[in-house]
């Protein structure tokens, strides 16, 4: 469990408080955030009454969120924690679940604390609770919002039955740098798609009406607010420094979408933003979040994020405590810095009583909305848990959703799907692994219940196929890295044989086979928190293994398991087929086998650009042009925006993914050549399934605003439709655009659509599109 691995790590003293960002006006109309349907007046009366009875210490106690580990017999409560719960000095607990644990701790708070205020139980339920779904990057590659929502719904059912009230998800940080290990935790690089995912996840966790009193819902926690995915150099926890138009247009939309969907809580991030740590950033946590976006829930910090502001260099313990509270952080995760400092802060006059009261009120409101004051146990019982956790229906969902998340990157000569006859050499360090399949951030998942690729292939292939296995190489030959991964539950058992001997064993298997399936990639611990990599190649000797397999002349199918875009140049040139499967979850092996043998035709599309070289990152499709764009026809051009040693192109663009069938697109036609401020414009294309299988296609629509008052991206995703087309079937798809789709934040942070020419692109990925154009007329349509 994560808490076990935490280092205290609270470092040096800093001195000065750095200035916050200036308050900015955002003229984008924000609909009032949908809040949970509680009787507001009744709730306030209840909380007024409760707070009248609370001492200062008890109020500060509600702002204290602690981690409590547990063993098989239940929560391991240290003397301190135990005493603090009894004294009313703990508001919430995380890293503990199961009906037994939840009841034991809740009993302590209810029966032994003075005011009997229930605890809130949170946990990192990120891509499933017990039934593990694909990692979020994989889920996003489904481009299927019903599937994304369903994964969150199952996670809510399971976690609620397991004693939890609150999940630290969705993570919606836009990430464009695959070196950052937490790329696996989010929905990729695009703000439009990221916003759809944010909404779907909140709905899945909190239910369609945000009625958290239903005991099969959990409160979602939007994270990491904000811009955590823009960490410099892809190094975790690193600085972010960004212009406001970029922030508003490219990084903030998914957070805003989750707020609009009624997310109950927000987690402030570790990073600093333009000179002020997010956790102490009043502009961020109050002016933007509450003032401009109308957020009504409570803000919890990330793990010891207030204490870490000392290392950021913005003050000592007392100063950062006051700074965080005054900025709008309500609950202090693990650091106990509020507990230790706020009373003194109040005496010193650095915080006001009303600010403490407000934070306490927000936490109590969260508990009230969850119905905890009426039903503090929310119906948890062993019986309910048993009937809910990993029930067959959920396992079926996990398998069906995992299949949709895989991206077919190459398939020469229809190497895939495989036939259910003959001999398959199933090789590679990940071929028989269970631990890696469930990926990072799968805290309550039991990897021993995960289906490996080998097992899945045996399940699906039937008796007509002979499967020969060999690991080929170790996942890494870096002994220190192995040790570090194992220190955090990696469960890697290196094969002691020399790599050459292991490769020869795999080659011998390949020689006896009709086709080679090589399962390669990253170990799950190579992505996730604090798992940045400076190299994006396959780790260790895995490429050597692939080269040796290729020399056998047998068809080579590469199955990738990884949590970030990788550089796969040799693989793309020489493998016959490549299937990207991310870390696919509990049912991963079955789902992979379904796709390899053709029971499901792959339909996933990349949501993060795959570069050719790590030197190209950040590389993303919705970039701007320069004044000196490079024209690849002009081979000798020097004074152009280019590299000397690699082209500007990605290896696989955003939105890319093949199918066992093929699709053709007609040129888009427009219902009108001009769109007016009050009008609509329909873009129609006919998509035809021109191959030999039924299949799903994600038709994508991008726009380019040709001339803007500020420079505009070369294209931006504005709509998509995922459709199933039978072999030979054609369908006309229509996308309706309104001026709202043309809007962006200008230099003054006004949300505007500017008159002028627009190009519209439709196609099967962000590169392979056909275009049409229109004019937007009639005034600026500024709101």
Encoded tokens for 173: 């940080």
In angstroms, how far apart are the furthest CA atoms of the chain? 79
What would the x/- binding string for ligand BGC be over residues 157 to 176, using CB under 6 A?
-----------x--------
Query: Quick check: 272 binds ligand BGC (CB under 6 A)?
Result: no
Chain residues 124-163 in contact with ligand BGC, contact rule CB under 6 A: 124
**Residue 379: exposed, middle, or buried by beta-carbon count in 10 A (0-12, 13-18, 19+)?**
exposed
Query: Quick check: 330 binds ligand BGC (CB under 6 A)?
Result: no
CB of 67 to ligand BGC, least distance (A): 7
Encoded tokens for 188: 């990729």
Encoded tokens for 213: 């009193």
Chain residues 100-129 in contact with ligand BGC, contact rule CB under 6 A: 124
CB of 43 to ligand BGC, least distance (A): 27
Q: How far apart are CA 153 and CA 201, in angstroms?
A: 8
Q: How far apart are CA 90 and CA 712, in angstroms?
A: 49
Q: Which is nearer to ligand BGC, 365 or 529 (CB)?
A: 529
Q: How far apart are CA 190 and CA 212, in angstroms?
A: 30
Residue with tokens 């508990």: 367
Is 382 marked active-site? Answer: no
Query: Quick check: 620 binds ligand BGC (CB under 6 A)?
Result: no
Residues 61, 219, 289: CA angle, nearest 5 degrees: 80
Q: How far apart are CA 592 and CA 599, in angstroms?
A: 10
Handedness of CA 632, 635, 640, 642 (dihedral sign): positive
Q: Which is nearer to ligand BGC, 124 or 317 (CB)?
A: 124
* Torsion, CA 167, CA 265, CA 325, CA 78, rounded to 10: -20
CB of 472 to ligand BGC, least distance (A): 34
Question: Among 209, 557, 510, which residue's Cα sits nearest to residue 412?
Answer: 557
Query: Quick check: 2 binds ligand BGC (CB under 6 A)?
Result: yes
Question: Among 177, 184, 183, 126, which residue's Cα sits nearest to residue 156?
Answer: 126
Q: Which is nearer to ligand BGC, 95 or 411 (CB)?
A: 95
Query: Quick check: 303 binds ligand BGC (CB under 6 A)?
Result: yes
Among 144, 189, 522, 529, indicate the residue that binds ligand BGC (CB under 6 A).
529
What would the x/- binding string for ligand BGC be over residues 193 to 232, using CB under 6 A?
------------------------------x---------
Residues in the interface with ligand BGC (CB under 6 A) total 7
Query: Quick check: 302 binds ligand BGC (CB under 6 A)?
Result: yes
Half-sphere exposure of 262 (CA within 13 A, CB side): 19
Catalytic residue selected from 144, 302, 332, 397: 302
Q: How far apart are CA 521 and CA 390, in angstroms?
A: 27
Q: Which is nearer to ligand BGC, 92 or 739 (CB)?
A: 92
CB of 287 to ligand BGC, least distance (A): 24
**Residue 463: exposed, middle, or buried by beta-carbon count in 10 A (0-12, 13-18, 19+)?**
exposed
What phi-psi label fits residue 329: left (phi over 0), alpha (psi between -120 and 50 degrees) or beta? beta
Query: Quick check: 97 binds ligand BGC (CB under 6 A)?
Result: no
Q: Which is nearer to ligand BGC, 11 or 637 (CB)?
A: 11
260-275 b/e (C-beta count within 10 Å ≥ 16 → b): bbbbbbbbbbbbbbbe
Q: Which is nearer to ligand BGC, 300 or 619 (CB)?
A: 300
CB of 2 to ligand BGC, least distance (A): 5
Q: How much of the chain is helix, strand and coil, in % rounded to 5?
A: 35, 20, 50
CB of 94 to ligand BGC, least distance (A): 7
CB of 576 to ligand BGC, least distance (A): 39
Encoded tokens for 108: 């302590």
CB of 266 to ligand BGC, least distance (A): 12
Which residues in this chain contact ligand BGC in the complex, by CB under 6 A? 2, 124, 168, 223, 302-303, 529
Active-site residue set = 302
């Amino acid at each position: 469990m994560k808490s076990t691995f935490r280092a205290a790590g609270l470092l040096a003293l800093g001195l000065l408080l750095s200035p916050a960002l200036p308050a900015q006006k955002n003229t984008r109309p924000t609909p009032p955030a949908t809040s949970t349907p509680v009787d507001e007046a009744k709730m306030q009366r209840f909380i007024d009454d409760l707070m009248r009875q609370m001492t200062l210490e008890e109020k500060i106690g509600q702002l204290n969120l602690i981690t409590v580990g547990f063993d098989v017999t239940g929560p391991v409560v240290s003397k301190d924690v135990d005493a603090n719960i009894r004294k009313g000095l703990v508001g919430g607990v995380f890293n503990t679940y199961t009906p037994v644990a939840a009841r034991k701790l809740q009993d302590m708070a209810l029966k032994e604390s003075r005011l009997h205020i229930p605890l809130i139980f949170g946990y990192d339920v990120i891509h499933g609770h017990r039934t593990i779904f694909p990692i979020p990057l994989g889920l996003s590659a489904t481009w299927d919002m019903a599937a994304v929502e369903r994964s969150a719904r199952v996670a809510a059912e399971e976690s609620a039955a397991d004693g939890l009230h609150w999940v630290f998800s969705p993570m919606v940080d836009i990430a464009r740098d695959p070196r950052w290990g937490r790329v696996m935790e989010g929905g990729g690089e695009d703000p439009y798609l990221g916003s759809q995912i944010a909404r779907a996840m909140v709905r899945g966790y909190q239910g369609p009406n945000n009625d958290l009193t239903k005991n099969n819902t959990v409160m979602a926690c939007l994270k990491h607010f904000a811009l955590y995915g823009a960490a410099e150099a892809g190094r975790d926890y690193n600085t972010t420094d960004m212009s406001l138009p970029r922030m508003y247009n490219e990084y903030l939309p998914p957070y805003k979408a989750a707020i609009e969907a009624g997310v109950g809580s927000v987690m402030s991030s570790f990073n600093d933003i333009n000179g002020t740590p997010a956790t102490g950033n009043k502009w961020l946590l109050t002016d933007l979040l509450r003032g401009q976006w109308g957020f009504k829930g409570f803000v919890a910090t990330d793990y010891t994020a207030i204490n870490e502001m000392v290392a950021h260099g913005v003050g000592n313990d007392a100063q950062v405590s006051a700074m965080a509270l005054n900025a709008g952080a309500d609950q202090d995760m693990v650091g106990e810095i509020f507990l230790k400092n706020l009373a003194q802060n109040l005496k010193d006059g650095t915080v006001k009583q009303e600010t403490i009261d407000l934070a306490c009120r927000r936490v109590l409101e969260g508990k009230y909305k969850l119905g905890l004051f009426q039903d503090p146990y929310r119906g948890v019982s062993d019986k309910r848990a048993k009937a809910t956790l990993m029930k067959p229906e959920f396992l079926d969902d996990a398998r069906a959703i995992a299949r949709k998340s895989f991206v077919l990157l190459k398939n020469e000569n229809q190497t895939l799907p495989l036939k259910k006859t003959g001999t398959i050499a199933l090789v590679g360090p990940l071929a028989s692994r269970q631990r890696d399949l469930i990926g990072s951030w799968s805290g309550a998942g039991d990897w021993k219940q995960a289906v490996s690729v080998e097992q899945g292939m045996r399940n699906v292939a039937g008796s007509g196929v002979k499967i020969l296995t060999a690991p080929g190489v170790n996942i890494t030959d870096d002994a220190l890295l192995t040790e570090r991964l194992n220190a955090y539950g990696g469960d890697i058992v290196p094969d002691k044989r020399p790599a050459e001997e292991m490769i020869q064993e795999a080659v011998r298997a390949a020689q006896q086979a009709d086709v080679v399936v090589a399962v390669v990639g990253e170990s799950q611990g190579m992505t996730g928190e604090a798992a940045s990599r400076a190299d994006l190649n396959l780790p260790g000797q895995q490429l050597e293994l692939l080269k040796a397999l290729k020399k056998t002349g047998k068809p080579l199918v590469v199955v990738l398991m990884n949590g970030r875009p990788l550089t796969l140049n040799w693989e793309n040139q020489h493998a016959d087929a490549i299937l990207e499967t991310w870390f696919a979850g509990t049912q991963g092996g079955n789902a992979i086998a379904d796709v390899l043998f053709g029971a499901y035709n792959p339909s996933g599309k990349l949501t993060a650009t795959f570069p050719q070289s790590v030197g190209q990152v950040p590389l993303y499709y919705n970039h701007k042009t320069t004044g000196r764009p490079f024209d690849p026809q002009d081979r000798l051009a020097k004074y152009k925006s280019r590299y000397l040693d690699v082209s500007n192109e990605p290896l696989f663009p955003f939105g890319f993914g093949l199918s066992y069938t093929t699709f053709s697109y007609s040129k888009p036609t427009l219902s009108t050549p001009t769109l007016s401020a009050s009008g609509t414009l329909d873009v129609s294309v006919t998509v035809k399934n021109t191959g030999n299988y039924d299949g799903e296609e994600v038709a994508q629509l991008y726009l380019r605003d040709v001339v803007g008052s500020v420079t505009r991206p070369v294209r931006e995703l504005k709509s998509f439709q995922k459709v199933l087309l039978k072999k030979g079937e054609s369908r006309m798809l229509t996308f309706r655009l309104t001026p709202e789709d043309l809007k962006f934040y200008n230099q003054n942070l006004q949300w505007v659509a500017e008159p002028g020419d627009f190009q519209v692109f439709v196609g099967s990925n962000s590169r392979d599109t056909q275009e049409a154009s229109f004019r937007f007329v009639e005034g600026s349509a500024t709101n």
